[in-house]
């Protein structure tokens, strides 16, 4: 919490396990609310290490970073597009954004794996992934032994995102069975996709990570709903960015505003939070600054919640409603032989 004097308490009081010796696992989890160093991936990784170290210092076992923390979320940009036209400046903006993205695997992935191992945390990190000349909004997961586990690519970018990110497929919607529970990630408005969430529930997700860029109050309603619907802990991490976290104009301009924001203006106000399976808010939402939000997750809450409602178990009606998830990778071209 050192980064955020206005933040909430480092460790939320979790009422439901007070005074009880339930024999259930408790996991200390930290959600990072911080800004990318835009166009500077090495500096962003340095900042990530500092934040991971701080969380580990509090005893956190799981650290979740915001959507595209590595690579950055281009708030206020339009990449020079209006319908039917595009600008040279916008194309060059994209070239720089492409340059700040990372290959998976690649040296930045190796560094992140090493950080997870060094600080002994399960690390969930949002990145901009570069696959040739198409970029993806991707989340990487690493275990506390420093092993890179895999990635989730956002299935469907939202609105303008569709002009700079490609679309994921069914081959990268993992849930990892870890000593801390079953952990998976769903990105931003993917969280509004009921079929994708159901796929995650079917994979048994217990700690549901929702890195996002949505700052509206209604986002908290969705997070609460998902906790209830899925009977899982929901952790949502958003960036808190000020204008000065982006290059100054004219290199980087904020569109859709009457005037250029001042350097200290918040251009993304966070809203990170942690919610229990019964819909109790354990930490956040914090809208005031960069912060680490930490809570102890009593995993026994999951079974207590699923007693009432198990969305893919006793409360499902598979003979009426059945979802099929196609998990094969989709390639325009495959080479065989």
Nearer to its own copies, 82 or 262 (CB): 82
Query: Around 38, how many Cα atoms within 13 Å sit in the side-chain half-sphere?
Result: 22
CB of 54 to its own copies, least distance (A): 27
Tokens coding 119 = 């600080």
- Residue among 102, 124, 106 at smallest CA distance from 48: 124
CB of 114 to its own copies, least distance (A): 26
Nearer to its own copies, 117 or 300 (CB): 300
Tokens coding 312 = 């893919």
- CA 268 to CA 254: how far, in whole Å? 12
Contact 209, 223 (CB under 8 A): no
Backbone dihedral angles phi then psi of residue 113, each to the nearest 5 degrees: -60, -45
Which candidate in 54, 67, 129, 290 is catalytic? 67
Residue whose token pair is 């809450």: 301
Nearer to its own copies, 114 or 156 (CB): 156
- CA 137 to CA 73: how far, in whole Å? 10
Nearer to its own copies, 59 or 249 (CB): 249
CB of 2 to its own copies, least distance (A): 27
Contact 175, 151 (CB under 8 A): no
**Helices 194-202 & 217-230 angle (0-180, nearest 10):** 40
Distance between terminal CA atoms of the chain? 55
- Residue among 272, 238, 286, 250 at smallest CA distance from 35: 238
- CA 122 to CA 145: how far, in whole Å? 8
Nearer to its own copies, 118 or 158 (CB): 158
CB of 57 to its own copies, least distance (A): 32
67 carries an active-site annotation:
yes
- Residue among 202, 311, 274 at smallest CA distance from 27: 274
CB of 69 to its own copies, least distance (A): 15
Residue whose token pair is 């598979």: 318
CB of 336 to its own copies, least distance (A): 6
Enumerate the active-site residues.
67
């Amino acid at each position: 919490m050192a980064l955020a004097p206005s933040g909430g308490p480092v460790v939320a009081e979790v009422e439901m396990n007070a005074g009880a010796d339930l024999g259930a696992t408790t996991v200390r989890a930290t959600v990072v609310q911080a800004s990318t160093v835009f166009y500077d991936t090495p500096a962003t990784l340095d900042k990530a290490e500092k934040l991971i170290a701080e969380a580990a210092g509090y005893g956190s076992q799981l650290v979740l970073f915001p959507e595209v923390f590595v690579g950055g979320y281009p708030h206020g940009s339009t990449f020079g597009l209006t319908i039917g036209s595009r600008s040279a400046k916008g194309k060059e903006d994209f070239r720089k954004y492409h340059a700040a993205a990372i290959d998976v695997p690649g040296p930045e992935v190796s560094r992140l794996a090493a950080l997870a191992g060094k600080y002994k945390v399960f690390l969930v990190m949002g990145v901009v992934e570069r696959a040739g000349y198409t970029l993806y909004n991707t989340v990487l997961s690493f275990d506390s032994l420093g092993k890179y586990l895999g990635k989730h690519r956002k299935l469907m970018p939202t609105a303008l995102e569709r002009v700079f990110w490609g679309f994921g497929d069914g081959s990268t919607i993992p849930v990892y069975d870890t000593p801390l529970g079953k952990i998976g990630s769903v990105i931003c408005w993917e969280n509004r996709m009921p079929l994708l969430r159901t796929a995650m529930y079917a994979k048994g997700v217990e700690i549901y990570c929702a890195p996002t860029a949505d700052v509206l109050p209604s986002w908290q309603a969705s997070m609460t709903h998902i906790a209830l619907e899925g009977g899982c802990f929901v952790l949502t991490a958003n960036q808190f960015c000020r204008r000065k976290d982006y290059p100054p104009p004219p290199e980087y301009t904020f569109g859709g505003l009457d005037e250029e924001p001042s350097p200290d203006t918040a251009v993304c106000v966070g809203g990170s939070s942690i919610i229990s399976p019964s819909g109790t808010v354990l930490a956040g939402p914090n809208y005031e600054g960069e912060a680490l939000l930490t809570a102890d997750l009593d995993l026994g809450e999951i079974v207590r919640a699923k007693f009432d409602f198990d969305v893919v178990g006793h409360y499902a009606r598979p003979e009426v409603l059945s979802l099929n998830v196609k998990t094969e990778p989709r390639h325009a071209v495959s080479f065989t032989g």
